[in-house]
Amino acid sequence: MSPPEPPAGPGRGPFDGARSIPPYGRGYGRYMGLLAVLLIVVAALNTALSKPHSVSGIQPGQRLPPFAVPLATGNLPGDANVATRANEGAAGRLPACAVRSPQILNICQLYEAGPVVLALFVDAGSCPAVLGDLQAIAPSFPGVRFAAVSLGGDRAALRRLIRARELSIPVGIDNDGALAALYRDASCPQLTFAYPGGVVQSRALLTRPAASTLRARVSELVTAARAREGRAAGG
């Protein structure tokens, strides 16, 4: 894994050390993207069958694992940085929370700004439809940070998806699927709800919810976050 890193000097970008894109043409890249998706799905299903209680998402009360991934709309290469401290080998040279750029989706940066609804998805079948659901309700919850990350996939295809669905919520790309294991994901999509500060508020949704269910869960998140903030201020 070649994690994203902040610039270390002239000519070195936030995803310094990322693998270069092989010059085999667009068809090869699309094939490899599809293969990556397949491998991610197979690995997730294997985990679900062997350890069915380990793939239900991050449990309430636990903090979201940090990560930084390139935005699908940007041009930065590289895999997910999932380091929790400096010099953590393949996970990242710097802690993921410190890796920030206008072309990076950083989960720490999101939960520092408010409650978070995070969708992990694979760009295949009906799974990406949840992005339109999030986009539809986002204006009703201006204080909530909605975001999505594609596990693998083809960047050009993701950009077409973003344009077709007129998405303004940030969409990242996890090229090597590191977040599937980190977030205990074996479903598509997986929706995680977290308080400001990154502590998970409630159990993850492991299928695409009805619009009414999604709206209710986001409303519950906002209400619970306000109550939690009030207790902290009064305590």
Residue 186: give its domain's CATH number. 3.40.30.10
Residues spanned by the domain of 119: 26-76+102-234
Only one residue has tokens 């695409």, namely: 208
User: Does the residue 14 lie in any domain?
Assistant: no
User: Does the residue 182 lie in any domain?
Assistant: yes
User: Does the residue 17 lie in any domain?
Assistant: no
DSSP the chain: ----B---STT--TBTTPPPPPSS-HHHHHHHHHHHHHHHHHHHHHHHHH-TTS-B-SPTTSBPPP-EEEBTTS------B--SSSS-GGG-SS-GGG---TTEEEHHHHHTTS-EEEEEE-SSTTTTHHHHHHHHHGGG-TTSEEEEEEES--HHHHHHHHHHTT--S-EEEETT-HHHHHTTB-SSSEEEEE-TTSBEEEEEE-SPPPHHHHHHHHHHHHHHHHHHHHHHHH-
Q: What total number of domains does the chain contain?
A: 1
User: Does the residue 52 lie in any domain?
Assistant: yes
User: Does the residue 223 lie in any domain?
Assistant: yes
User: Does the residue 202 lie in any domain?
Assistant: yes
Please tell me the distance from the alpha carbon of residue 126 to that of residue 133, in angstroms, as a whole number. 12
Q: What is the pLDDT along the chain (235 residues), one digit of tens a residue?
A: 555 544 432 222 344 433 333 333 334 444 444 554 555 555 554 554 455 455 689 999 999 999 999 999 999 999 999 999 999 999 999 999 999 999 999 999 999 999 999 999 999 999 999 999 999 999 999 999 999 999 999 999 999 999 999 999 999 999 999 999 999 998 999 999 999 999 999 999 999 999 999 999 999 999 999 999 988 887 6
Q: pTM of the full predicted structure?
A: 0.81
User: Does the residue 81 lie in any domain?
Assistant: no
User: Residue 33 to residues 26, 29, 124, 176, 177: CA-CA distances in angstroms?
Assistant: 11, 6, 11, 10, 11
User: Does the residue 89 lie in any domain?
Assistant: no
